[in-house]
Amino acid sequence: MEVYTVTVATGTSEYSGTNNYIYVTLIGENGESERTLLDNPGLDFCRGAVDQYKVVSPSPLGSVLLVRLEKQRYWVEDNWFCRYVTVEPDDGGKVQTFPCYRWFVGDLKMEIREGKATTVMDDSSPKLLEHRKTELQERRKTYRWITWAPGIPRCIDAKTEADLPQDARFENEKRSDFEHSLHYALLELSLKKLTIRFGKSWNDLEDFKRIFWKLRSPIAEYCMEHWEEDWLFGYQCLNGSNPRMIQRCKTLPENFPVTAGMVQRSMADGTTLTKELKAGNIYLLDYAIMEGIPTNTIKGKPQFIAAPLCLLYQHPDDGLIPIAIQLEQTPGLDTPIFLPTDPPLAWLLAKMWVRHAEFQVFQLLSHLLRTHLVVEVFCVATLRQLPAVHPIYKLLAPHLRYTLEINCRGRTQLISDTGIFKRVVSTGGKGLLILAQREYKVLTYRSLQPRSDFIDRGVMQISNYFYRDHSLMLWDAIHSFVSGMVNLYYQTDRDVQQDAELQAWIRDVTQEGFTELPNFGRFLFHSGLLNAAGSLFRLQQDSSPEEI
């Protein structure tokens, strides 16, 4: 007879504990232990508890391969979150750790295996190979693809966050914090609405400060004081909310007929527009993607958007400054080019229209599409095609946490027909989907990699581009970490190609998630795998639920 000490750790978040029956069976190379009810004197499986039990096997098990956990209802249903199980033979043998980190909802039986990362090529035990297969079969039934709207990445089959499996939901503390923040923000907006409705009307730009009473940080106050200045406009193009639009301008676009004479007063002494173009000091913001986008109607009032072109100059003394703005893509008598020499309010209004277009592009394309929706494709594919013991699953799982719930909330609360965008944003309704579809058509895997993106936009030399500098430092750190982990299991392209699970994951990403982008990117090889994992790490830095 063999005796084992089994330690079971319950989750630390709210409602992780249970009063239901918990059974355990140890599955070894040579057989199974007795099915044992885990029951010590007093309360078992309380929140944060680490409980020990004795489990008996009538014959030697050999190496323990799997731990079978079962939860059965006692009086009322009570879910349970298990963190991990450890198994130690009483003869002083090796302690084995079996991570779980899963919710047991209802009467459920689950088998978990030891935590060491293992590829399918390294597994030789028939029991472990069958466990991998069964786990993925169950996951594919749980996590299914669906097309939420044509022309954008596919997503998880869940109408709302309530349709997600418990393992993909926010923890209770996270949910409470998220909903408290949302309710607080809505209350603040309501108070501001009352202030505006019953207070005095806006007479000048200074009156806008009355609705920003919460902005009390030094940076926020500084921006409120200087937001009208050209240098801050240029600085925000480099380090603001959406610093990925700026590109080097080698030749002026044909539809942006700026002449040297128009902008000469913005040039430094002794230089011209032609000289600065050759020197690489002229940059461009081009919002052509906004042209012709249908606009929203809010409370019966039609909204308006622009599709501007903005020329910027890296001034040796003043930094990056705007020097010409055209608010539509087609030049003509009705599409003037605004200059810093125009009346101050005309120039300020032109810059505000550029910022208005910037807001649409940032929220719908840079943030929603290129971050949340792209990451969701990898998240769903990971859950469907990689078992929990797979090294790439272990590498990515912490960075994909909460992705599905926050995206479901975004689809229902932000971009749905009754969402916030439809109620308050100029591109809400049909416009936001058309805008996302346009960007999705030209989305490339290369553009998600920061170094390639900066090189392609010609902005590697521009000064004070702290977003670029910090992104590259972060990317190098991420790439170093990911390379070290991936290289433990994959040294060559052949190693990547021979991993059937990894290849299934890649196919799920490219053929199921990015169905309409056959040329999105090929990372069938070793270097591609490193960049794919690294890109996901970096994208998640921009994908916090608090922002949504």
C-alpha 284/C-alpha 309 separation (Å) is 7
Known binding residue 17? Answer is: yes
Give the whole-angstrom CA distance, residue 393 versus residue 250.
Answer: 44
Task: Tell whether residue 203 is among the known ligand binding residues.
Answer: no
Confirm if 20 and 71 have CB atoms less than 8 A apart. Answer: yes
Q: What is the CA radius of gyration of the chain?
A: 28
Q: 305, 468, 441: which is closest to 365 by C-alpha?
A: 441
Instruction: Give the residue from 475, 428, 420 showing the smallest Cα distance to 451.
Output: 475
Cβ pair 13, 81 in contact under 8 A: yes
131 is in an annotated binding site: no
Is position 39 annotated in a ligand binding site?
yes
**Is residue 14 within 8 Å of residue 50, measured between CB atoms?**
no
Q: Is 78 annotated as a binding residue?
A: yes
- CA dist 282 and 525 (Å) reads 38
- Among 290, 285, 279, smallest CA distance to 236 is for 285
Cα 71–chain centre separation: 34
Q: Could you tell me if 195 and 208 are in contact, meaning their C-beta atoms sit under 8 angstroms apart?
A: no
Is 526 marked within a binding site?
A: no
Q: How far apart are CA 414 and CA 419, in angstroms?
A: 4
CA angle 308, 444, 385 (to 5 degrees): 140
Strands 50-57 vs 2-10: parallel, antiparallel or unpaired: antiparallel
Whole-angstrom distance, CA of residue 294 vs CA of residue 426: 9
Question: 30, 62 in Cβ contact below 8 A?
Answer: yes
β-pairing verdict for 64-72 and 21-28? antiparallel
Question: Nearest-CA neighbor of 284 among 306, 254, 252?
Answer: 252
| Angstrom distance (rounded) from CA 346 to CA 257 | 19
Cα–Cα dist 110/25, whole Å: 10
Question: Distance (Å, rounded) from C-alpha 70 to C-alpha 23?
Answer: 5
* Residues annotated within a binding site: 17, 39-40, 78, 367, 372
Binding residue ranges for Ca(2+):
17, 39-40, 78
Binding residues for Fe cation: 367, 372
